[in-house]
Structure 1
Amino acid sequence: MSEEHNNHEIEEVKQEEEKKEIEHYCYLCHRPESMTGKMLKLPNDIHICTDCMQRTLDSMGNGQFGFIDARNMDLENLDISKLMGDMQGMQPKPALKKKKKEKKEKEKLSLKDIPAPHKIKAMLDEYVIGQDYAKKVMSVAVYNHYKRVVTNTMDEIEIDKSNMLMIGPTGSGKTYLVKTLARLLQVPLAITDATSLTEAGYIGDDVESVLSKLLQAADNDVEEAEHGIIFIDEIDKIAKKQNTNSRDVSGESVQQGLLKLLEGAEVEVPVGATSKNAMVPLTTMNTKNILFICGGAFPNLEGIIKKRLMKKTSIGFEADLKDKFDKEENIIANVTNEDLREYGMIPEFIGRLPMVFTLEGLTKDMLVKILKEPKNAILKQYQKLLELDEVKLEFDDGALEAIAEKALEKKTGARALRAIIEKFMLDIMYEIPKDDTIGKVVITRDYIEGHGSPVIELRDQ
């Protein structure tokens, strides 16, 4: 018996020594016990290191049990069931609700509050030079639109909206007029571009995307958006392509798609996105009371107008000369629906834009006024910049005329003015901060033409 007892004890000692030699690995991160230190032993011979235990506790409580430190636990005497029970009994922190932004209640417009057309035009005059006819048309249209916002009927007679088509050469102020109008109005206004619109099913924006932008401008308030104004720029880019065999996915088909919007229809519009898909909620908008303003440069339209005006034969005593209309600066003012149809706009589309008006090409005198008269004229901007350096900036009349002449040569309208001024103001803006003694800079015609320098006056010491 004694030998058997001794042999049994020897076997137990050997098993214990073998156990000591066996190294356990973490069930989660697979690191050995020699690297992690003591491990927590679970049923079925599962071992977990303290690092993985800590991560598990943190993830289970979503940060609520961050004060439990698994690394300092007594792992040998740890009761897992008691620990889990304690954790379940803990009260998690209540989730904080985000405060919703309170919508400011807008005062409803009354007939007394509606600005008269002459007041709207006067506000536009402060920022936009010339284009009196265009400003009159827009002022009257917006005035009538305001009245339609206030009341849909007047003596039981429904007032129709007057959608507009604005035609003018590049840089004549089409977009600038509408942007200026946007600052003056209390109705939501969206400015969008027709160049990105394509036929449904093709890469690009659907026609409903123009309504999505208006909805965003109205803070997703459908009722307010339904009385807004939409300006679609570059409308000439969706004209029908002439003599082409390729599929015109951004031409006539887009005009067809815009018909229902211009006329007035119930349209499903994606909220917060420009295209419909399963993940975007939709809302229904009625376009009956939305005023549409379309604008475009319509390049080469002058050629179509000249061709129509040259009705008489070019042979004989009463023949018109071929260059009869070449020197006429504002020939685009003679545009008719027939000219637009030949350009590539479909008759149904033109019919839904009853008010067609043109903007004049800018003359030298108009460009000089644009430089110095508007509230935010470019010269006033530079004078303000140099005023911060305590330097007075002046332009003589010859310099302004020279700038206007250079801008006319570029044939890009008022946009050319900034490019020209940026070029010759670069050296001045670079050099002036170097010298504290400069008090005044006068820009001359010679400096603009490149064979002179600005007149610099020093400060009084």
Structure 2
Amino acid sequence: MENANMTPREIVAYLDEYIIGQNEAKRVVAIALRNRYRRLQLPKDIQEEVMPKNILMIGSTGVGKTEIARRMAKIMGLPFVKVEASKYTEVGFVGRDVESMVRDLVFASIALVKEEQKEKNAEKIEDYVLNKIVEKLIPPLPKGASEQKVEEYKVASERMKNRVINGEMDNLKIEINTPKRQVEVEDGNVPVEIIKVQETIAKVFSASKENPKKEVTIKEAKDLLKIEASESLLDMESIKQEGIKRAENSGIIFIDEIDKVAVSSNSQGRQDPSKEGVQRDLLPIVEGSLVNTKYGSVKTDHILFIAAGAFSLSKPSDLIAELQGRFPLRVELDSLDEEALYKILTQTKNSILRQYEALLGVENVKLIFKDEAIRALAHYSQMANEKTDDIGARRLHTVVERVIEDISFEAEKYSGESVEITESLVKEKLDVLVEDSDVTRYIL
């Protein structure tokens, strides 16, 4: 968590590299994150009183709502899950149990801590793997071997280690005990008690037989033995405890499509009781409650919830009043105009154009996007968004893919060449499609 104490200004500067505009949303999110860091510096008694200010993002699809939340969690090393409100339904209806979002967060948090521990112990894990492989290639000396033999063994082992590290032995086969893979079950629809029973049964059966032996190449053995090394060297109990702690104090749950469970005041007689039911099921989790997971009870009081929705057919006030009150910070994201789409193509880090250049570079094809062509791509994307559903920046993927489809399909024909994407090529590929609104609906 090396970036956990980034200032709001630093967070916004980082987000600017990937997301164009939406300055208000970035600022609100940055302050909310900084307040979480500030809270953890306070005395324990005050910490409990400082509740997170949950955020409601309002804006059409593809304008950056999810990307802002996902990017900020990534740079700060925070546990993060994205769920869709429309996938949940009230208990008694078919759907997912709302509490499963907290179990998913704990699962993600433990995975995050485990990866950190693997990185910290990378040298130990590497040594473990090397020693195991060398033992198979040069069997250990018997007890009571002479000092000369011991020295010779050390020299031979070091030489062999270097050969294994350099990949010289990768194709040689050795026999190893295949590690038992830990199967993690985290299903919101399965009660925690049933999961624990399933795990107990699995342990009883696995304990009755040793790890099966398998002949594999040394290259394969390196990966398989890393799993064994992690299980042997890492303290899984402390990893789980740290994972729960992080989920409770630093976790972020992004609830997308919250508008899909709002009951519009225009709807006749509130035809869908499951929508309001989902909101009422969400309420205790967002307000703060205890959720049972396979790793223990988790308090949701200090989890940051970010809800998002387009609210095209409903409005935030159509949510039940108690749930509205739990999202005090509201921010409206701007729709993307042609200039914003152009900037997304040219100014964002790892933009879609750079991605396609890299992908075709694998085939030894150098793609060159002329500036007029990029402007045309932004223009046609904007036109398509106006004529059909506005899907924001996601339209760029469809449009760019359409333009370079033939080049991508016949990449071997262009190998070793530079291929210019010109304005005329963009027009040739997209003019007819965008003009015909019926075709646009299905193709763009």
TM tier relative to shorter chain: 0.5 to 0.7
Q: How does 1:248-397 map to 2 (within 5 A)?
A: 248-265=272-289, 267-271=290-294, 283-300=296-313, 340-341=316-317, 344-397=318-371
The Cα shift of 1:196 comes to 1.0
TM normalised by structure 1 equals: 0.59
Aligned to 1:431: 410
Matched, 1:448 2:426: yes
Pick the structure with greater CA Rg. 1
Change over 3 Å in CA distance of 1:345–1:451 after alignment to 2? closer
The number of aligned residues is 292
The Cα shift of 1:254 comes to 1.4
Q: What are the superposed Cα offsets for residues 400-449 of structure 1, whole Å, 9 maximum, x if unpaired? A: 1211121112222101100011111111123341244x521111111111
State the distance in 2 between where 1:248 and 1:197 align. Answer: 13
Q: How does 1:156-305 map to 2 (within 5 A)?
A: 158-219=49-110, 221-227=243-249, 228-241=251-264, 242-245=266-269, 248-265=272-289, 267-271=290-294, 283-300=296-313
Q: How does 1:27-66 map to 2 (within 5 A)?
A: none
The Cα shift of 1:138 comes to 0.6
State the distance in 2 between where 1:443 and 1:417 align. Answer: 15
TM normalised by structure 2 equals: 0.61
SS at 1:130 equivalent = coil
Change over 3 Å in CA distance of 1:290–1:126 after alignment to 2? same
Change over 3 Å in CA distance of 1:154–1:138 after alignment to 2? farther
State the distance in 2 between where 1:292 and 1:152 align. Answer: 24
Q: What are the superposed Cα offsets for residues 112-157 of structure 1, whole Å, 9 maximum, x if unpaired? A: 9611111111111111111111111111111111222444658789
State the distance in 2 between where 1:415 and 1:116 align. Answer: 30
State the distance in 2 between where 1:225 and 1:446 align. Answer: 52
- Contact 2:365/2:414 (8 A) holds in 1: no
Aligned to 2:30: 139
SS at 1:442 equivalent = strand
State the distance in 2 between where 1:182 and 1:140 align. Answer: 13
Higher helix share: 2
Aligned to 2:376: 402
RMSD: 2.5
Aligned to 1:119: 10
Change over 3 Å in CA distance of 1:188–1:152 after alignment to 2? farther
State the distance in 1 between where 2:323 and 2:410 align. Answer: 55
SS at 1:146 equivalent = helix
State the distance in 2 between where 1:183 and 1:250 align. Answer: 33
- Contact 2:39/2:47 (8 A) holds in 1: no
Change over 3 Å in CA distance of 1:382–1:205 after alignment to 2? same
Structure 2 unmatched ranges of 5 or more: 111-239, 386-390, 431-444
Structure 1 segments (4+ residues) deviating >6 Å? 154-157
Q: Aligned letter for 1:224?
A: R
State the distance in 1 between where 2:353 and 2:252 align. Answer: 32
The Cα shift of 1:256 comes to 1.6
Q: What are the superposed Cα offsets for residues 4-36 of structure 1, whole Å, 9 maximum, x if unpaired? A: xxxxxxxxxxxxxxxxxxxxxxxxxxxxxxxxx
- Contact 2:73/2:252 (8 A) holds in 1: no
- Contact 2:61/2:310 (8 A) holds in 1: yes
Q: What are the superposed Cα offsets for residues 331-384 of structure 1, whole Å, 9 maximum, x if unpaired? A: xxxxxxxx522xx21121111101000111001111011112211101001111
- Contact 1:121/1:139 (8 A) holds in 2: yes
Change over 3 Å in CA distance of 1:239–1:384 after alignment to 2? same
SS at 1:450 equivalent = helix
Change over 3 Å in CA distance of 1:246–1:356 after alignment to 2? closer
Change over 3 Å in CA distance of 1:268–1:394 after alignment to 2? same
State the distance in 2 between where 1:156 and 1:223 align. Answer: 14
Q: Aligned letter for 2:71?
A: T
Structure 1 unmatched ranges of 5 or more: 1-106, 272-281, 302-338, 453-461
State the distance in 1 between where 2:328 and 2:259 align. Answer: 16
The Cα shift of 1:247 comes to 5.5
Q: Aligned letter for 1:379?
A: L
Change over 3 Å in CA distance of 1:152–1:377 after alignment to 2? farther
SS at 2:331 equivalent = strand
State the distance in 2 between where 1:393 and 1:214 align. Answer: 40
State the distance in 2 between where 1:155 and 1:236 align. Answer: 34
Aligned to 1:456: none
